[in-house]
Amino acid sequence: MHTVPPPHPRDLLPPLLACLPTAFASPRPPPALFPLLSPVLRQRLKYLGDGAPEDGGWLTLLSWNQNQAEQLPIAVKQMQIEPHPVSGEVELNDVQPAQYRYLDKETLQARIQIDQFNLQSIWVWCENDVHGETGPGWKLAELGVLSESKADLEWFDSPSKAETALLDQGKNGDDSAEDDYWASYDRSTADTPAKKPSPNIQTGAKIHPQSELEYFARYENVQPALDAHDPDEERVDIGQSTLRGDLLSQLKAQRTQADKSVNIGVDRESGISEPGPDINSPWKYAAALEALERQAQVMDDHDRTHGIVKRHIQAQLQSMLALSRDLGLNWDDFSGIVRSELDDMGKLATDKKAT
């Protein structure tokens, strides 16, 4: 984690505060607001920023918390913004120093409280904002009202303290998870494929030297849980096929029935009959079995491919449906677009077949 410069409220807050009252006059955010936002928040306002100005419009999208979003337009209406007579910038009283936290090792956030307007802003450090056409800097991640709730206590006075807290939290969390994982083996016995429980190790129990060999000898009969081969499981008959499970049994039954029919025909007829086909030829059954196996493999591959394509199309349709709903399209519009595209693709496929 490299050193990040602290945010300067006098540079960040005036242009932001100047844009907020426009939400009650225009359904779209002003262009000057977008470079101040983080990439995620910028995309949210671009695609969902149409709203009734009298209700605060796009102001509610600046907060990810529902309660904060409902209170934000009220707080903005109560703002008394007076631009400086010379510079024209919004005049601010002294603000509290920024506080910091790390969401992960690469995401640093800073909170600036604006007591003058009962607002608090959360900024995220962006190393490279290509779409915002700016260099590294602090971008607005969320805007809300000041809250008296003390549930959020993970803010720190400096980035170094926030980094230390993140490292300590990750270290303690990993150790705790690892301890819980291995302790689970002490509390219960493990079921193996052969249903032979491993010896139950009592927490804190000591193994005396005279019983060590006997203790570890108990593991010789334990089937590992990750071993796919279990000698104690029932073995499938060699004669059975994976095609339907009883293919060779049916072939043998047909062969036996054919032998009986031939014998009956020989008994009833007198004299020497013409030699018929050699039913007992083993290569015929092997060829039939091989052909059926190939046919089943082709059908199985086709079903698997069909299922994969079907699931992919379903996922894409669900994603497009969710996007269309966010953009304000109803079901009739969405289904009409999909049917129109399918018809065009069908015509294109027909033309390709014709050529």
pLDDT tens digits along 319-336 = 888 888 888 888 888 888
Helix count and strand count (H, E) for the chain: 8, 4
Which of 72-76, 228-232, 262-266, 321-325 is predicted least confidently? 262-266
CA dist list (Å): 61 to 30, 73, 352? 14, 11, 48
Contact 100, 161 (CB under 8 A): yes
Residue-wise pLDDT tens digits, 345-354: 888 878 777 7
Q: Which residue has the higher pLDDT, 287 or 196?
A: 287
Beta strands in the chain (DSSP E): 99-104, 107-114, 119-126, 137-145
Mean predicted confidence (pLDDT) in 150-176: 75
Q: 26 — phi, psi (to 5°)?
A: -135, 140
Contact 61, 47 (CB under 8 A): no
Range from 135-144, 264-273, 276-285, 345-354 that averages highest in pLDDT: 135-144
Q: Please state the separation of Cα 7 from the chain's center in Å.
A: 33
Helix (H, G, I), strand (E, B) or coil at 111: strand
Mean predicted confidence (pLDDT) in 147-159: 73
Structure confidence at residue 272 as a pLDDT band (50, 70, 90): very low
Q: Which two tokens stand for residue 13?
A: 């807050």
Q: What is the mean pLDDT of the chain?
A: 74
Residue 258's pLDDT is 53
Structure confidence at residue 239 as a pLDDT band (50, 70, 90): very low
Residue 245 confidence (pLDDT) above 90: no
Handedness of CA 310, 316, 322, 324 (dihedral sign): negative
Residue 80 confidence (pLDDT) above 50: yes
Q: Please state the separation of Cα 314 from the chain's center in Å.
A: 16
- Angle at which helices 247-268 and 282-326 cross, to 10°: 140
Residue 253 confidence (pLDDT) above 60: yes
Contact 222, 198 (CB under 8 A): yes
Residue 101's pLDDT is 92
Mean predicted confidence (pLDDT) in 191-209: 50
Residue 351's pLDDT is 75
Mean predicted confidence (pLDDT) in 169-196: 58
